[in-house]
Amino acid sequence: MDIAMGHLNPEEIFAVQALAAMWRLGAGRRDSANGSSGNEDSHSEEEKQNDEYSGGSTSSDDIQPDNAEVPIGEGNAKVPLRILKGADYTMYTKVTRKLLQAVFTRKTLATHSLTGKPSPAFLNRPPKKLLDPLIVDDIVRYVCRRCNVAPNLVRTAITRKCTDEAKLYQKRRRLRRLARQRRNIENIPPPQP
């Protein structure tokens, strides 16, 4: 292989080699079907992106639909392929938030925190539960690698997302409670003379 891969781990090297082999095989099949010589690289950018997100599959016949779940990081977190394709990797906060919403429910994000420790600002409140550390580590590693940012920035984005979801969750609960009270008031019969 012509690419120097000193900065990749063995799994990534294997995945790159498998993708290169798939591209060569796929180009040969398409070129022979189109009647061309097979010397030119006829892959579209979209096909290369699909291969990149395919989770290291070596079979070119495995075309994954956009709603297929793809493992990220160590494989503890699985995310729909469409989210990985549609992500803007120039903005790590957006990518982090999208991945968190794909993996966790909104209620989980609202009722859990990154550390599971009590907030120093609200010592009278009980601590929130801890988000699954394996899944969080997968998200942090993936975003750090794809967006080229430090892990502490990604963890800060996770903390902010949990805080924002907690605020929205409290607001929705208050609105539901008010709506329930209004319904009860409307259902009271008028006083009789």
Residues 96-132: tens digit of each pLDDT = 999 999 999 999 999 999 988 888 888 888 889 999 9
Strand, helix or coil for residue 176: helix
Residue 161, Cβ neighbours under 10 Å: how many? Answer: 21
DSSP structural state of residue 126: P
Residues 7 and 56 in one domain: yes
- Does 14 reside within a domain? yes
Residues 18 and 79 in one domain: no
Residues 80 and 12 in one domain: no
pLDDT digits (tens, 9 = 90+) for 148-163: 999 999 999 999 999 9
Taking every pair of Cα atoms in the chain, the longest distance, rounded to a whole number of angstroms, is 97
Residues 74 and 160 in one domain: yes
Is the Cα torsion angle 90, 159, 100, 169 positive or negative in sign? negative
pTM attached to this predicted model: 0.61
pLDDT digits (tens, 9 = 90+) for 32-81: 444 444 444 434 444 444 444 444 443 444 556 767 888 888 888 898 88
Counting the structural domains of the chain, the total is 2
Residues 109 and 164 in one domain: yes
- Does 157 reside within a domain? yes
* pLDDT value at residue 136: 94
Residues 181 and 93 in one domain: yes
CB 78 within 8 A of CB 69: yes
Query: Which residues form the domain of 148?
Result: 65-187
- Does 192 reside within a domain? no
Q: Show which of 64, 86, 101 is a domain's final residue.
A: 64
Residue 110, Cβ neighbours under 10 Å: how many? Answer: 22
CATH code at position 164: 1.10.10.2590
Residues 86 and 16 in one domain: no
* pLDDT value at residue 7: 59
Task: Say whether pLDDT at 11 is over 70.
Answer: no
Q: Show which of 35, 64, 93 is a domain's final residue.
A: 64
* pLDDT value at residue 34: 42
Residues 60 and 70 in one domain: no
